[in-house]
Amino acid sequence: MHMADTHLGFRQYGHTEREWDFDDAFRWAIDQALASQVDFVLLAGDLFQSGSNLQAITFNNAVAHLEHLREAGIPCLVVEGNHDLPPYRAYRTRFGWVNALAEASRLVYLLDATPLEVGAEPVLASDASRVGHYAEPIPGVPIYGIGFNGAATRAVLERFEKFVSEQLAHNPDYAVLMMHTGVDGRTRERASGNISVSSMRGLRSQFDYVALGHYHMKFDEDNWLFNPGSLELTSQDLAHEETGGIYLVTVDTEAVPKHRVEHVACPRRSFVHKAFSLARTNDPDELYGQIEEFLFGEREKGASDTNDKKPVLSIVLAGTSRFEPGLVDTQHIEELSRRILDPLLCRIANRALPPGIAAFDEATDMSRRDLEEQVLEGLFESHPDFSKDLTHWTNATLEIMDAGLKQGAADGICNILGNARTALTG
């Protein structure tokens, strides 16, 4: 089983219940490992939300949950993520939380093998010493790890490739490389610490499975690179992505391909998010009506949900308002929300701009989606052919953008446009 980014101790929005959600998700993943009787677990970094400010109870819960794996004789192999780093890391010691859990026999900690001098033998982690450069939970199946290396990632990978070509001359039955790193092209930001799939090519013949962590959305590449996604939702911005979870991997070295990989989504608290544009609303009462209608719709949807956790609700007011946006009573919106949807918590952000202001400067904590919606609305609003069906064309454009990003064929995009036009003209 492969998981990553469990972020234990994340008190999202300052809410204790959210902290327990992350704990529940971790427990769920461990239960999956137990139920499937896996041979070993890979945890590709970011076990904790904050190694530099780790609470005793969070550490204690990790110890307790991991104990279930130990009792079942299932080793849990881990690399250190950027969130796991303890404070004072630079101060003479490399001992961190992951070491502490290895000392307590809860984890097997895989250190980067790359700093090794050429010719030096990598250290095999064993039951006696649960820290090493690689582990072999099953004879003939070596697992190597590379933790978070930030901007040095590319250089570390080059050294690792050299190390592998010199040291791994023997032919293992099945080999795994576990890494905590981002991959180019998976978010719009380009981070210096990312790897690109092409830069990994040299390792393709040496490793059968690359177990990634770091980015919180689920993705896989080439039946070779696997990123399970964070178990719980760490940011509203990722709510539209496929739900993160675990990979259950079945290996048959005689078969082609050698593995069968199944992703199981983690049952999560639901997030309900909606942006209302004040560009389309004449006064606060009309807005309250729209919100009420939306909340009733969500309540209906939630009724058929098997998840009994109350949702996290977020409502954003955006756009250039037709009236003074300060007239909106956010407390009233909160009361409506509590009465109709009864969420765990309700976040309301009024980012609407007063009439006549076309610019927006408060984009910092808007989701990308809201921002795009706002920009498109602004563009369509100023165009006589589109302004009367603003929402319609905004939605159609967002759909086309999505299709484009997913490398949709031109035909698919034409269909979306055709459908959008037919919907208006009948």
- Rule CB under 5 A: which residues touch Mn ion? 5, 46
Structure tokens at 72: 């079942």
Place of tokens 């454009």: 397
CB of 83 to Mn ion, least distance (A): 5
Contact predicate 132/125, CB 8 Å = yes
Contacts (Cβ under 8 Å, ≥6 apart) of 9: 19, 22, 48, 49, 50, 54, 55, 58
Q: What's the CA gap between 111 and 132, in Å, rounded?
A: 6
Toward Mn ion, which CB reaches closer, 229 or 311? 229
3-state secondary structure of 344: coil
Q: Which of 156, 150, 146 is nearest to 79 (CA)?
A: 146
Q: What's the CA gap between 63 and 23, in Å, rounded?
A: 12
Toward Mn ion, which CB reaches closer, 44 or 164? 44
Task: Sort 22 into a burial class: Cβ within 10 Å, 0-12 / 13-18 / 19+.
Answer: buried
CB of 163 to Mn ion, least distance (A): 26
CB of 246 to Mn ion, least distance (A): 15
Toward Mn ion, which CB reaches closer, 182 or 325? 182
Toward Mn ion, which CB reaches closer, 228 or 311? 228
CB of 68 to Mn ion, least distance (A): 23
Long-range contacts (CB closer than 8 Å, 24 or more residues apart) made by 85-88: 85/51, 85/52, 85/148, 86/51, 86/52, 86/54, 87/51, 87/52, 87/53
Neighbours of 23 (CB within 10 A): 21
Toward Mn ion, which CB reaches closer, 5 or 237? 5
CB of 405 to Mn ion, least distance (A): 23
Secondary structure (DSSP) of 82-102: GGGPPTTTTSS----HHHHHH
DSSP 8-state assignment for residue 4: -
Toward Mn ion, which CB reaches closer, 85 or 177? 85
51: Cα separation from own chain's centroid: 18
Toward Mn ion, which CB reaches closer, 81 or 343? 81
Neighbours of 388 (CB within 10 A): 11
CB of 215 to Mn ion, least distance (A): 8
Toward Mn ion, which CB reaches closer, 229 or 378? 229
3-state secondary structure of 43: strand
CB of 7 to Mn ion, least distance (A): 6
Toward Mn ion, which CB reaches closer, 225 or 251? 225
CB of 6 to Mn ion, least distance (A): 9
CB of 100 to Mn ion, least distance (A): 19
